[in-house]
Amino acid sequence: MATLFLVRHAQASFGTAADGALSPLGQRQSVQLGRHFAARQQRFDLILSGTRHRHTQTLAGVSEGMGTALEAQTWPGLDGYDSQKLMATVHPEPLPDASPAGLFGQQARLLRQVLLQWMLGRDQPVGLPPWADFRQGVMEVLTQVQASGADNVLLVSSGGPIACAIGQVLATPPAATVELNLRLRHTSVTEFAFDPGHLALQTYNTLPHMDSIEFDSWITHG
């Protein structure tokens, strides 16, 4: 079977818009992933990416680390959701703690709640598509991958579409899909084995490019 490598984008600068630029650490994370692929002599027959700046910058970093130009087909279905629009459904005003640490406190609890309500169809955040349409956009990309005839596919996206893909493959309930989403780390690699008629999860949320104590401080999520 062929392999699909789903990569979550590198760390973006905290507090930026949904399509904001990578942080300096995020740039280093993406280059390090490329170095890992280069060391394994990994090659890709097809590369897909979301259209957000953080996606294209992550791919550029991977390209730099591999020492080769990577050209991607961009898919809006891989763009992910705007967490600020989701949060606005329950907390229209900025949260008191706007620091990175706060993301795993009050903000994380609220995001967990609103994600679940959106997926269940109980809330419809302004400016976001219904969850069914968001999911359909992700599934269209997976269908394209399965029909591509490629042996190795690289896909750069965000936590939402990646968790959605995993949830569809494993038939997880919405609450479990939310947890899969919130645990995805920056530049983590999730692998699917695939052929035209089947998708199977092989790995989830791995960081093989940072499997050394020297990179402990580089590991981020949120």
How many other C-beta atoms lie within 10 A of the C-beta of residue 61?
A: 24
The answer to whether 147 and 196 have CB atoms below 8 angstroms apart is yes
According to the model, what pLDDT value does residue 19 have?
Answer: 57
According to the model, what pLDDT value does residue 15 have?
Answer: 56
According to the model, what pLDDT value does residue 4 have?
Answer: 98
Q: What are the percentages of helix, strand and coil residues in the chain, rounded to 5?
A: 45, 20, 35
Q: Which residues of the chain have pLDDT under 50?
A: 18, 98
Residue 126's H or E segment, with its range, is none
* Residue written as token pair 């300096």: 24
According to the model, what pLDDT value does residue 222 have?
Answer: 78
Cα–Cα separations (whole angstroms), residue 85 to 17, 64, 106, 128, 218: 11, 33, 16, 7, 28
According to the model, what pLDDT value does residue 96 have?
Answer: 57
Measured between alpha carbons, how far is 148 from 128 in angstroms, rounded to an integer?
A: 29
Residues paired with residue 184 on neighbouring β-strands, in sequence order:
none
* Residue written as token pair 């490629």: 150
Q: For the whole prediction, is pTM greater than 0.85?
A: yes
According to the model, what pLDDT value does residue 31 have?
Answer: 98
| Structural domains of the chain sorted by starting position, each given as residue range(s) with its CATH number in brackets | 2-218 (3.40.50.1240)
